[in-house]
Amino acid sequence: MNISNQHKVQQTRQLTSAFHAFNELSQNLAESYQGLQEQVAGLRQELTAARDRGMQTLLEKEKITRRMQRILAALPAGVIVLDGDAKVIDANAVASTLLVGPLQGEPWSEIMQRSFLSEFDNPHERQLHCGRHVSISSSPLNDEAGQIVLLSDVTEMRDLQNFVQRQKHLSAMGEMLASMAHQVRTPLSTAILYASHLQCRNLPELQQQRFAGKILERLKHLERQVNDMLIFAREGKMLMETFSLKQLLTNVSEAMHDSIDSGNIHFHIDNQADTDEILGNENALRSMLMNLLENAAQAVAGAGNIRLTVQQPDQRQLQFSVTDDGPGIEPEHLQRIFDPFFTTRSNGTGLGLAVVDSVVRAHGGELHCVSNVQQGSVFHFTLPCLEHGGEPLPGAFSGSSYDKVGQS
C-alpha cells in the first residue's frame, strides 16, 4: 500500500473516531437537556406550590389581622401601641374615646398630661378629666421595641367598691351606736355621782378638789369618746390647714401631763425634724396622738417609759414614733388592732386605734406597729409636710421632757 492510501485510511479512522465522539457528546447533551427540563419542571411545580402556600399564608394573616382588628374594636378597654420612642403607632376606638386629642404619632407622656388629672392616690389608676377612672397596665412587645398600654375603665367597679365600703361603714356606725349608750353612761354616771357629793355642805375642801378632779377627768373621757366617734363617722374627711409642729407637740405634752396622774411614768418628746410647718388637721392629729400615748400609758400600767419621736427622713414627710416598754401585743391580736371595735380591755371601745388609722390615712400617711411580747411596742406613722415651711428648728430640738412620779 502506497503512502497515499495509508494517509486516506488514517484520515478515515480519525473521522470515524471523531464521529463516534460527536455522537456520544450529542447524546450526553440531549440527556443533560432532558434532565434540565425535568429539573425546571420540578422547580416550576415547587415554585407554584410555594406561591400557593404563600398566598394561603397571606390570606390567613389578612384574616387574622381583620379578626384582631374586630376584636380590638369590640374590646371594652383602650389599647395603645407605642414604638421604641414611646410614641403612639396604633390605638383602638375605645382609646380614642377615652383620651383627649389626636393619638397617632403623639408622645405618650403628652397624651397622659393632657388626658389625666395631675394628682391621684393610686399610681396604677388614673382619673380622666371627665371624672371616669381607668386602670393602666403595660407590657413590652416581644419581637420589636415598644410596648402595649391597656386602659380599663374601672369607674363602675370603683363606685361599687365605694358603695360596699359605705355599707361596711354604716354597719360599723350601727355597732358603734349600739355600744355608745354603755360607753357614755358609765363615765357620765360616775361624774353625776361625784357631782352629787359636791352638794354636801360640810364636805372638806380636799375632798371637793378630788371630786372636782374626778368629774373633770370623766368629762374629758367623754369628750375624747365623742371626738373619736365623730372622726370615725366622718370616714377621715376633715379640713386641712397649715399649723406649727412645735405647737402641736407642746399641746400634746400638756395634755399628757394632765392625763398621767399616778404611777411612775417617764414621758419624753424628741423632735428631730427640721421643719415646723405641716399640713393637716391639728385637732385630729392631737386626738390621735393622745390615743396612742394613752394606750401606751395603759400598757405600762403606771410604771414605765413612753417616748414620742419625730424625725424627717426627707423634705416631703415626717415620721412619728410612739414607743413604750410595756408587755407588748400578742401576735394573734397584732393583725386586728386597727379593726373598729376590736379591743382586749373589758372597758375599751375598740375605736382608739381605728381612729388613729383613719386620721393617718386621711392625711395620706401610713401606719404600722412593731411589737414584741415582754419588750414593748412601737407605733410608726408618716405624715406629709410642706417642702418650704416656716422657720426651721434646730435638728436636735426636744420639745419637752418630764417625769411624772406618783405617790403610792
The 10s digit of each residue's pLDDT in 36-95 is 888 888 888 888 888 888 888 888 888 776 776 666 666 667 888 888 888 888 888 888
pLDDT on residue 320: 93
Nearest-10 Cα torsion for 160, 162, 164, 169: -170
Q: Which CATH class is domain 75-153?
A: alpha beta
pLDDT on residue 404: 38
Query: Distance from CA of residue 132 to its chain's centroid?
Result: 19
Residue pair 147/82 in contact (Cβ under 8 Å)? The answer is yes
CA-wise closest residue to 402 among 303, 288, 306: 306
**pTM metric for this prediction:** 0.47
Could you give the count of Cα atoms lying within 13 Å of 149 in the half-sphere of its Cβ?
27
Residue ranges of the chain whose pLDDT lies below 50: 387-408
pLDDT on residue 388: 38
pLDDT on residue 396: 29
pLDDT on residue 172: 67
Fold classified for 240-408 = Heat Shock Protein 90 (3.30.565)
| Crossing angle of the two packed helices 245-259 and 282-300, in degrees rounded to 10 | 40
pLDDT on residue 378: 92
The 10s digit of each residue's pLDDT in 119-130 is 555 666 788 877
CATH match of 156-235 with 1.10.150.120 = no
Residue pair 383/360 in contact (Cβ under 8 Å)? The answer is yes
CA-wise closest residue to 350 among 367, 362, 338, 333: 338
pLDDT on residue 68: 66
Cell, residue 250: 407642746
